[in-house]
Chain A
Amino acid sequence: MLAQSVKIEDESDILTSRRMVREIAIKIGFGIVDQTKLATATSELARNIYRYADNGVVYIEQIVRPPGIKVIFQDNGPGIDDPEEAMKEGFSTTPGSLGLGLSGAKRLVDDMTIESEAGKGTKIEIFKYLP
């Protein structure tokens, strides 16, 4: 079973995490469009960790039932007050941002879950299944 983890501590770790996700997605058998979507979603969510939580970890796992990939983004940052609100398009706490981080990432994958509590960090899981 393929599994990897990447610590997010500086900007270059965002690049490392999306490259790693693409590598594993290729090995699992995803096509070029799904690889690109997964790598892009990872880039958005890893950047969120770096920006808002300062540091965290990205875990990448192959899943079997149904076959696909799961990527977990975990941090001990400030957390999200209202995860449902944050998933809405256009939501952002950063001026000038398009607010596409969470809602955009969600549209690139098959499933996305957020567990978060203000002050206790955030855990986001994304899933993409083989077609």
Chain B
Amino acid sequence: MDRIPILKLKNCLLISIQTDLHDLIITALQEDILTEIARTGARGVLIDISALDIVDSFMARTLRDCSVMATLLGAKVIITGIQPAVAITLVDLGLDLSGITTACDIDSGFDMLESMPGVFNSGRIVRRY
């Protein structure tokens, strides 16, 4: 079975979903992300879905569950790049997506991660004089 690569950058995991995924791969990805968080101690996870032109209830639910599970492991998940038509469809579908954090694109997703302690730095507050 194909697997989606997970890259590590500083204390952060990067995942870019480039193709339409079927259910088994989505479920495997969720497990892989959680395993990698536990293995590396990553504090932030950025999942870019800008290449996806469809996100159905299964995919959305898995992304949401993954965010909640990652929180339990001490990591913050940010989903980036949701296409406008996908956002409209998800709301029409009636999904409760509270609990997921999103950003418009990878750039803004990184800005959010950067502002969190422990993701790109040690978590200590550094004073400069």
Contact = CB atoms under 8 A, between A and B. Distances in A.
B interface, over-half SS: helix
Contact of A36 (B23, B57, B61, B88): B88
Interface residues of B, number: 22
B93 A40 contact: yes
Contact of A19 (B20, B23, B85): B20
B89 A40 contact: yes
Contacts, number: 66
B15 interface: no
Interface in A45-61: 47
Contact of A37 (B58, B92, B95): B92
Given A40-B93, A98-B95, A11 B22 contact: yes
20 contacts: A18-B54, A18-B56, A33-B85, A33-B88, A35-B85, A36-B83, A36-B88, A37-B89, A39-B53, A40-B93, A44-B93, A47-B56, A47-B58, A98-B96, A100-B93, A101-B57, A104-B93, A107-B94, A108-B89, A108-B92
Interface of A: 11-12, 14-15, 18-19, 22, 32-33, 35-37, 39-40, 43-44, 47, 89, 98, 100-101, 103-104, 107-108
